[in-house]
Amino acid sequence: MPVDSQGARTRAPAVAGLFYPRDAVRLQTEVLELLGGTSPSSKVLPKALIAPHAGYVYSGRVAGAAFAKIRASAQTITRVVLIGPAHYVYLGGIAAPGVEAFETPLGRVPVDTETCSQISRFEFVTQTDTPHVPEHALEVELPFLQTVLSSFQLVPLVVGDAAPEEVAHLLRQLWDAPETLIVVSSDLSHYHDYETAQRLDLSTADAIEQGEWVSLGPTQACGWIAVAGLLIETRRRGLGGYRLALCNSGDTAGSRDRVVGYGAWMFGERS
């Protein structure tokens, strides 16, 4: 694992130049454009978000709709629990990293190493960098967070063969006060034709908004375990889910014969 100029063991970006621009100025400009103008004041205080993790040309606008919602509370958020699926490395349970920072072209984000060490006491949590090294699901969310938040620590978690109840239990331990934001990284249906994907993703959206986590599975979303775990905990806390955006790659930058679905939601209490 590389050591950066400050002597910290750092997870280097894996998909810069592929999923998003490698050049920092171009990346910052693109993220600001995807975030859009100032988000209108909301009567809902965001505690958790669901955002997609494809290349920005495909899902960046949907992700921007999610992260724009935390602008109003950005000064209060100092820790982000970022959780998504392991796409490349088989993993039993949930993995927290051992590194001290995650890096993107916009700079380094310090990892909350104390929390990562503490949660490794759970039998379903392993502290290992192996599944984090190639993973894009968390990395692509970071430039949005770096742009909206002034300074924060990161608790990055990738989910493999785990139960939604285990994710919910872990989120319960990490929930804390308003300084902690929960972000679940997930795309929706994969590789159906446009009309089929629309039907599937609308059904998934309804399940998310009704808190019906048992309706979810791998055909609904690649990050379904983390999404289901979030729904268990938000339902326990009486927090509602509010749809911010829903589309697929046929609406953005791809053909309509084999699409991937994207959605954004926020969860919180009315102010």
Per-residue pLDDT of the chain in tens (271 residues, 90 and over written 9): 565 555 579 999 999 999 999 999 999 999 999 999 755 556 677 999 999 999 999 999 999 999 999 999 999 999 999 999 999 999 999 999 999 999 999 999 999 999 999 999 999 999 999 999 999 999 999 999 999 998 999 999 999 999 999 999 999 999 988 899 999 999 999 999 999 999 999 999 999 999 999 999 999 999 999 999 999 999 999 999 999 999 999 999 989 999 999 999 999 975 5
Task: Please give the pLDDT value at position 148.
Answer: 97
- pLDDT at position 136 is 98
**Environment class of 42 (CB within 10 Å of its CB; exposed 0-12, middle 13-18, buried 19+):** middle
One-letter identity of residue 32 = L
Q: Residue 4: its pLDDT value, please?
A: 55
Q: What is the CA radius of gyration of the chain?
A: 17
CATH, domain 10-270, list 3.40.830.10, 3.30.70.260, 3.30.565.10, 3.40.30.120? 3.40.830.10
> How far, in Å, CA of 42 to CA of 129, rounded?
38
pLDDT at residue 41, rounded to an integer: 59
Q: What is the dihedral of CA 157, 161, 163, 169, to 10 degrees?
A: -30
Tokens 């729904």 appear where?
Answer: 231
Amino acid letter, residue 149: L
CA-wise closest residue to 135 among 2, 18, 266, 225: 18
pLDDT reported for residue 40? 56
Whole-Å CA distances, 268 to 36, 70, 87, 160, 254: 22, 11, 29, 27, 33
> What pLDDT does 270 receive?
59
Nearest alpha carbon to residue 181 among 81, 271, 74: 81
Continuous segment of H or E residues that includes residue 182: strand 180-185
